[in-house]
Amino acid sequence: MPPLLDVRNLEVRFFTRDGVVHAVNGVSFQLHEGETLGIVGESGSGKSVTMLSILRLIPQPPGRITKGEVLFQGVDLLKLDEADIRRIRGSKIAMVFQDPMTSLNPVLTIGRQITEVLETHLNMSPQEARQRAIELLRMVGIPNAAERLNDYPHQFSGGMRQRVMIAMALACHPQILIADEPTTALDVTIQAQIIDLVKRLRDELGMAIIWITHDLGVVAGLAHRVAVMYAGYIVEEAPVLELYHHPRHPYTLGLLGSLPRLDRRERRRLVSIDGMPPDLLELPAGCPFAPRCPYAFDRCWEENPRLEEIAPNHRIACWVDVQTGRPR
């Protein structure tokens, strides 16, 4: 079956006063029907810009999608005109952001914001839309849904607002839900509530999900497949068990080694990754991880490895086989 979403060689740049920010540098991945893909990476690694570019939401200027294709059910979203992409956004592909306050309109009631989506995308009458909005708020676990429709965003707590955002995202039964760090600003017990909710809705509605996070714990329990981003590249991608149990890219190994584990009583020194991520204004010619990589050798400084399949469904961008420590 062809993938639901097929992102090919996506490249995004920001042309700023300081120079060209190489935010996304040839990212390719696929998302299949009903699948949950986790994308992990540190701040600035290009996760949000990748997702915003898929929906053509990056500010232009300074941003520009300089290369690539985004095939959604075979149609290249990057070639659609503004009216067509708008029809896809929110109805076929919906997005939830880290900070719901920035995507909710502070001067409109929650009810108005949800019914507006329903009226424009699904041509519902105001009465139908209101009824459906109440159902949606109930579905995401907001008590007294009918009364809360009249409240403004600031009258909701962080966790509640994120539920409202999820309700709005699901209003038109999207085929893909893109969630960009939706629980990063929330406390763990509230994060657990939201993840529990998303898993339940995923099973009920059968949508595909792209879940972006910097927390390797969150995707471990949620994703079927995980892609790791570094400096605007996907550097490793594998089914979830494979990625955590047999990581093959030095950066993924480093990330997993630097995490303390709640379920381990023995205390070992954390293996930290030295240095810091590269400046995206001047990317090196070779592998972007080379300055921090314990496995780096001559070739790494000269040639940037491409993402290649090294085992079934397991892709890495690296010249070295970490199991032997020698070039592949």
Orientation of helix 110-122 relative to helix 126-139, angle to 10°: 120
Identify which of residues 48 and 304 has a Cβ nearer to Mg ion in the complex: 48
Site map (CB under 6 A) of ligand SF4, residues 196-215, x = contact? --------------------
Secondary structure (3-state) at 69: strand
The helix (run of H) or strand (run of E) holding residue 225 is strand 225-230
Cβ atoms of residues 168 and 180 within 8 Å:
no
Nearest distance, CB of residue 253 and Mg ion, angstroms: 23
Residue 123 binding target from other proteins, ligand ADP, Mg ion, none, CB below 5 to 8 Å by type: none
How many CB atoms neighbour CB 45 within 10 A? 25
Residue of 48, 50, 53, 162 that binds Mg ion (CB under 5 A): 48
Tokens 């708008």 identify what position? 86
Cβ atoms of residues 175 and 4 within 8 Å:
yes
Residue of 26, 41, 250, 278 that binds ligand ADP (CB under 6 A): 41
Please give the Cα distance from 229 to 161 (Å, whole number).
Answer: 28
Nearest distance, CB of residue 167 and other proteins, angstroms: 17
Q: Does 191 bind Mg ion (CB under 5 A)?
A: no
Cβ atoms of residues 13 and 58 within 8 Å:
no
Residue of 2, 9, 43, 60 that binds ligand ADP (CB under 6 A): 43
Nearest distance, CB of residue 235 and ligand SF4, angstroms: 7
Burial zone of 39 (CB within 10 Å; 0-12 exposed, 13-18 middle, 19+ buried): buried
Please give the Cα distance from 161 to 154 (Å, whole number).
Answer: 9
Closest alpha carbon to 54 in 94, 2, 100, 3 = 94
Nearest distance, CB of residue 12 and ligand ADP, angstroms: 8
Find the part of the chain contacting ligand ADP (CB under 6 A) among 46-54, 149-157, 234-242, 243-251: 46-54
Cβ atoms of residues 129 and 118 within 8 Å:
yes
Segment 228 to 287, residues that bind ligand SF4, using CB under 6 A: 250, 287
Segment 228 to 257, residues that bind other proteins, using CB under 8 A: 240-241, 244-245, 254-256
Which residues bind to other proteins, rule: CB under 8 A? 42-43, 157, 159-160, 187-193, 195-196, 214-218, 220-221, 240-241, 244-245, 254-256, 258-263, 265, 267, 269-274, 276-277
Which residues bind to ligand ADP, rule: CB under 6 A? 14, 16, 21, 23, 41, 43-49, 59, 62-63, 280
